[in-house]
Structure formats: structure tokens, C-alpha cells
Homo-oligomer: A and B are copies of this chain.
Amino acid sequence: MKNSQLYKGSLNTIIMKLLEENGKMYGYEITQKVKLITQGELNITEGALYPALHKLEAEGLLDVEIEKVDNRMRKYYKLTESGQKETVNRLSELEDFIRNMQSLVNPSPKLEF
């Protein structure tokens, strides 16, 4: 990903959210989209991305469809029905996570008398 360890564990959620939003995407496209959205701050490495895609597919959350464009292979991934349901859960978990982290680092200021 990047230098910060914080992104560890968030890749699956990112992939699934992008697929939910865009219907179908291929690996390289995902890396570029993420780079764009985060203004270059988050760079997903191939070594992290492809194994993650393969695992999500093996778990039945993604379907794959191979296309050949400009004589180059593309593997388009999309959410299965099961994947769509799971995406809802993952996004809900992410919201809880963010809320909890904000509670921890932005505690409500102590009242002074």
C-alpha cells in the first residue's frame, strides 16, 4: 500500500466498495482509481492486490470475466450476490471503525469550570 501501516486490513473493503460503485473493474484500473481518489496518497501494490482479488474470488464474493483489449489481457471482476451482501457488512464495519478511531483520538473535550 503505502508507508503507513494503518491501511493494513482495509484493502478488501476498498476493492468491494469500488466494485459496488462501478459495476466491474480490472486490477490495474483499481490501482489507478484509488491513486486518483486519494490524490496519489494511497498506492496499492500488485503484490497486495492480485492475491486479494484471487482470495475474494475463491470466497465466492467476486466473479471474474476475461477480456482481451488491444491485444492485452484484462480480468474484470464484479461482485456476486453474496459479495453484494457482504459489501454492506464491510462498509458498516468500516463506519464503526472510523467512528471508534475518532472517539479515541478526538475525545470530547473535558469540561472546565
Residues of A within 8 A of B (CB): 4-10, 12-14, 17-18, 21, 34, 37-38, 41-42, 91, 93-94, 96-98, 100-105, 107
Contact = CB atoms under 8 A, between A and B. Distances in A.
B103 A37 contact: yes
A101 B98 contact: yes
Contacts of A97: 4, 6-7
Number of copies: 2
A9 B41 CA distance: 17
A38 B4 contact: no
B4 A6 contact: no
Contact of A91 (B10, B94, B105): B105
Given A6-B9, A105-B91, A38 B100 contact: yes
A7 B8 CA distance: 8
Contact of A17 (B7, B37, B105): B105
